[in-house]
Amino acid sequence: MPQTAQVHVETHAVKERSPFVNAIREFWKSYRKNKPALFGTSIILVFILLAIFANFIAPQGINDQNIGNKLQAPSAAHWFGTDDFGRDIFSRILFGARLSLRVGFLSVIGSIVVGTLLGILAGYFGKVLDVIISRLFDILLAFPSILLSIAIVAILGPSLNNALVAIAIVNVPVFGRLVRSRVLTVKEEEYVVAARSIGMGDMRIIFHHILPNSIAPIIVQGTLNIATAILDAAGLGFLGMGAEAPLPEWGKMLSDSREYIQNAPWTVLFPGLAIVLVVVGFNLIGDGLRDALDPRMKN
């Protein structure tokens, strides 16, 4: 290839990439100005790293018992103390981060996939399909989320995976209604009408125009819902409807330690603190993403 032609191709490639690169740069420029969002990001990154390297960081296994050391206060040997079986609470919280983050991410991903699909079908094609899907969302939203989660887990059976499925189902209407409202707005835009007038197919319009212009609110809502999902999983675990012993799920740890809250408060303090930090972290990230991705929030 001649050098002039090669330079032309490379220049063309840079031009093709520039809108995306510029969008990323604009997003990061706005996001990094939000100090609370950066703080929340730091919290979540720390917990993710702790979960990934838990095998190397944890001083003991999650089920290593020593009855002689039960309910020991925090010390150099046991940073967060021990529980009623003499298990190291710090180690269990590290491994519990894997469970809580897995439930949060996977349940929200499932909700986004199903909710987005139903929302697009309802908003884009409308008519009878819209009525059926919208009424389904209304029925699911008529129940308090924790009660509906309990009912689903009661049907499926108590386990962490079933709790994950229940939380995903409960959050489907949140994303479905969000996407539906966005689709109803975007499909009336001039560029979508023009694409339809030149014969562009429905699937191409959805994937090339509708979905890309609906990503930002989905990302923001998804980040916020991860915090909600982790809280719901902890609530189900506390009620005995989620993770089963001896899994070190944070809500289950709170449930198992509630009778020792006066004699050994550290058994409740540290799992509860872990839940609070992760939930606050995701909420701060969600607020930062909303401010960075929503043009109405920019000066």
76 occurs within a structural domain = no
Question: Where does the pLDDT of residue 297 fall: very low under 50, low under 70, confident under 90, or very high at 90 and above?
Answer: low
27 occurs within a structural domain = no
57 occurs within a structural domain = no
Indicate whether 35 pLDDT > 80: yes
CA distance 89 to 230: 19
22 occurs within a structural domain = no
211 occurs within a structural domain = yes
70 occurs within a structural domain = no
CA distance 254 to 252: 5
Q: Indicate the average pLDDT of the chain.
A: 84
Instruction: State mean pLDDT over 160-171.
Output: 91
Is there a contact between 265 and 272 (Cβ–Cβ < 8 Å)?
no
Q: Determine which of 26-35, 84-93, 233-242 has the lowest per-residue pLDDT on average.
A: 26-35
Residue 210 belongs to domain with CATH number: 1.10.3720.10
Report the domain count for the chain: 1
pLDDT in tens, 50-105: 999 988 888 887 777 778 778 888 888 888 888 888 888 888 999 999 988 999 99
pLDDT in tens, 118-133: 999 888 887 898 899 9
220 occurs within a structural domain = yes
198 occurs within a structural domain = yes
pLDDT in tens, 242-253: 777 788 888 888
Question: What is the span of the domain harbouring residue 227?
Answer: 95-297
Indicate whether 192 pLDDT > 90: no
